[in-house]
Structure formats: structure tokens, C-alpha cells
Structure 1
Amino acid sequence: MKLDLDQAWQSGLRFTRNNAGLLTVIAGLLFFLPAAVFGLMFVPPEVPENATWDEMVTILGAFYGETWWIMLITLVLSTLGSLAIYRLAASRDDRTVSGALQDAVKGLLPMIGASLLVGIPVGLLFAIPLAIGGVGVFLILFVIPVAIWISMRTILSGPVLMAERTNNPVTILKRSFAITQGNSLRIFFFLLLLVIAAAIVMAIIGAVLGLVFIAVAGSETGEQLALIVSAVLESAFTVVVIACIAMIYRQLSGGQAGTTSVPPTVED
């Protein structure tokens, strides 16, 4: 089946609009709050303009070495948020925040397992250039395209997990590969356009509001307010993307899951 990008976009927006209350609670708890807390409490160090590559890696490496644990917590919470939204998009049964979060918690370990099965090989791919040299050319011509292809073929793992209620990471990945057959490039460019559009909008809004906040509240407070607004915008964008991915799954799966029973998906 050929993916209809306009249908995926329109369905994603409709689902987001019709479930705004539920999605706001989930996004506020699991996307916005962790991002805002991390941004306010852990400010990355400034890298000098004349710093070499090794110096930049050392400075940023020290920062992320100290904050890896909070980043891990943020990642886990965002994964729960994504799964909860996929759960809401997958079924009419118990369409509540608590029900969605309960199912998301149950699906967390299988999702982590599936992510590791994908992430470890991709990580090894990126390690190869460091071992053999020729980093730039090898990354551009082979590693990055392969990593993107694998990511697009497994991007529906979350919807598969929540809609088809299978807890086997291998089965989840195989199902995602089957559904995305012939559509990985279309999914990639669809998401790329979303990211570019969102980056432009957030940059403009962030710059304008940042200047206003700094002028009204001063430099330090203004920057903190701008960071909070940025976290709100990023959370909203994240919800829209997840909703679109859920609708891509709905469209490509066609309600058919082989031997697995799939609850009816909904948009409202």
C-alpha cells in the first residue's frame, strides 16, 4: 500500500484536535515538565568560538557525563508519553489518561527491548568509521543512509506494540518492517518536512518572545521564560508528530495484523 501523506497529516491533526484535553495532560506530564526542568536546572556550558573539535568534545562530554542520568529519565518519560498517545489512537476501550498510561507502563520494557535491538547495531555502524578511519566519507555514503533506513522501517514499533498488544520485541520489529515495506522514503521525507517546518516556526516564535521577555523581565528571567515557551512548543510539536505516526500505522496496517487482533483505531 502506498502511503497517502496528506491523509496522514490531516488525520494526525484531527486526532490531536479531537483529543486535545487528554493529549495536553500526557504532554504536560511527560514531555513539557521533564524538558523544562532539565533546561532550567542543567544549562549546557558555553563553548569558546575558537575552541578546537577536541576541546568542544571535552567540554560537552563533561557536561553530558554529569547529566546522563536526568537525560535517561527524560527519555524514559518521553517513551511512556509516546506509548500512551499510541494507545489512545489505537482503541476506543478505556480512552482515559490513566488507562493509556497503565498500558504504556506495561509496554515500556518491550519497547526498550525493541529499541536496543535496533540501537545496538546502528551504534556499531557509527563505531566502524572511528575504527577504520575515513569518518566523513564513510558516514555520508553508508552509515547515515543505513541508519535512516533502519529507523524508518522500525518507526511504527510503538503503534504496533500498543495496537496489536504483542510484547515480543522481535515480533514488534518484524511487524513494523512489514508495514513500512515500500514506504520508508515517503515516511522519512514526511517527517523531515515536519521537522524543518517546526524548526522554522519555533525559531521565529522563540526569537520574538525571547526579545520581549528579556526587555520586560531582564536577561536571566527572560531567558528562562523563553526556555519554558520553547519547551511548550517542542511538546506540542512532539504530540503532532506522534499522532501522525499513529495515523501512518493506521493507514498502512489497514486494520489487518495477520494473526494478531487489533483494536479499532480512532481519530475522535
Structure 2
Amino acid sequence: MTLLGPAEIRELAASLGVRPTKQLGQNFVHDPNTVRRIVRAAELTGDDVALEVGPGLGSLTLGLLEEAAKVCAVEIDPVLAKALPDTVRRFAPEHAGKLHVIEGDALRVDVDEQPTALVANLPYNVAVPVVLHLLATLPSLRKGLVMVQKEVADRLVAGPGSRVYGVPSVKLAWYATSKLAGKVPPSVFWPVPNVDSGLVAFTRREPPQEDRNEPSQEDRKATFAVVDAAFAQRRKTLRAALAGWAGGPDVAERILRAADVDPGARGEQLTVRDFTRIASQRQSQAPHG
């Protein structure tokens, strides 16, 4: 198989009249060794259906097709979406039948392929919403390896007490365990971004639950509402930060104490399980405001 290098990337872009845009967060990987590294870190098996968001000119797509049973590529740019099958037929004709392209926004399109692995070089400006949306809407996703801005990677995998622990950290932890899987320098992209990128690997797990029933969408929404409120005012104690959510600081304190959480603590000190307990206590005992 031929992977795309700088010459192929430039030639493809020129033939399509494509100029990478900041609006779509387009930075195309032109280093075959980086593609091989990403595919290796994704730990795909021959049974995996890989979901790629933002395949662009097809650098990573070609690497994924070599390892996965099928690749479902979601591309918002109509020119790139139309060209991707031709690129695969040209550079990897033996795998052309394994590619399924969906033209559209990954936050809105229906993916009916039941993908098992998300592997993508995600546009920096939508990386967190895309990952969380796909985990929420595609229960078939069991694992993932995404390349995002290094700062975003650090936030996604941060644990309680970390300076960068926040809403993305807790919400990803609801769905999965995660870890950093390496740093990627700007030089492997065209155009060259002014920041480093990071690889985040995740493995889905059962969401935290406070009873014997399976956590529902409502449980998730309730927990995420607490998370959003707690981090909206990071400097405030939970008693103060959750006052609006609970219906007053006294109500918030009562809920927090029932959930065995210190009302004087701050959001960055809590685990996802702590947030789940707070949401559960609100549902069971606090009046809805």
C-alpha cells in the first residue's frame, strides 16, 4: 500500500482546487510514519469497523483500510467527500470496497455502520463535542484513538486535582477510561499549525451508577448538568457554584452532604462518581426548581 507523503498531498489538493481552511480546522497529515504510528496505537483488529471523522485528503484513511474490516469516513467538505473514494481506488484499490463515505457534519449525520473504533485527526475547534456526541449516540463504539490539540488532549485525560481538569475530563470519564498516547509535532501537517497535537486513547466502560439499574440518558443528562454548573464558576465552592442548579445554597449544601461531598470543596476535586452521586441525590430528595 502507498501512503500519502508531502508530494501526493500537494498534488491531490491542487487537482481538487483545495486550500485548507481554518474554518473547517483543516490540517492534513503528510507524514506516512505518523499515520502508521496512529494506526498502530489504535490497536485495530480485522473485525473492527473504524469511524474516521474529517478524513480530508485520505492520509489516515489509507492506513485504517489496511487494518480494519471497514472504514466509515464522515467528511463535511463536499469536494473532499466526493474525492475520497477515487483516492482510495488509486492508492489502495484492493481495499476500495471497504470504504463507506458519509458527507455531512459528524455532530448531525446518522451513522448506521455500527462502528467499533473511532480513529481520527479531529479538527481542533470541534474535537471535544464530536468525541462526546459520538460516544453518546453510538453505543457500538468500544474504543478510540483521536489526534487533537495538545492542550485539549491534556484536558480530556486529566484527573481530579489537576489544573486542567474540567468539564471535558469528567464527561469523557463518564463513558470511558482514557490516557495520553503520545505527542505529534506540527511539522507532520500541511499547513503547519502553530501548536503541538496529542493522541488520546480511550476504552469505553460502564457509566457510574448509584443503583442496580442501568444508567439512563436521563441519569447522564442530570450528571452533566451538575458538572456544567460546578465548573461554570471554578473559583467558588460547590455550595455556591451549585446554588442556581439546586435552587439555593442551603438546598445545594443539603444535597452535597447527602451525597457525602464536602460543600466547601470545588468541582476540580470531584470524580465522575461524586458528580453522579450529587445528581442522584437531587433527583431523590431535592425539590425541582
User: Fold-level match, TM-score > 0.5?
Assistant: no
Normalised to the residue count of structure 2, the TM-score between the two structures is 0.21
| Higher relative contact order, structure no. (Cα contacts within 8 Å, ≥ 6 residues apart) | 1
Which structure dedicates a bigger proportion of its chain to strand? 2
Q: Which has the larger radius of gyration?
A: 2
Using structure 1 for the length normalisation, give the TM-score: 0.23
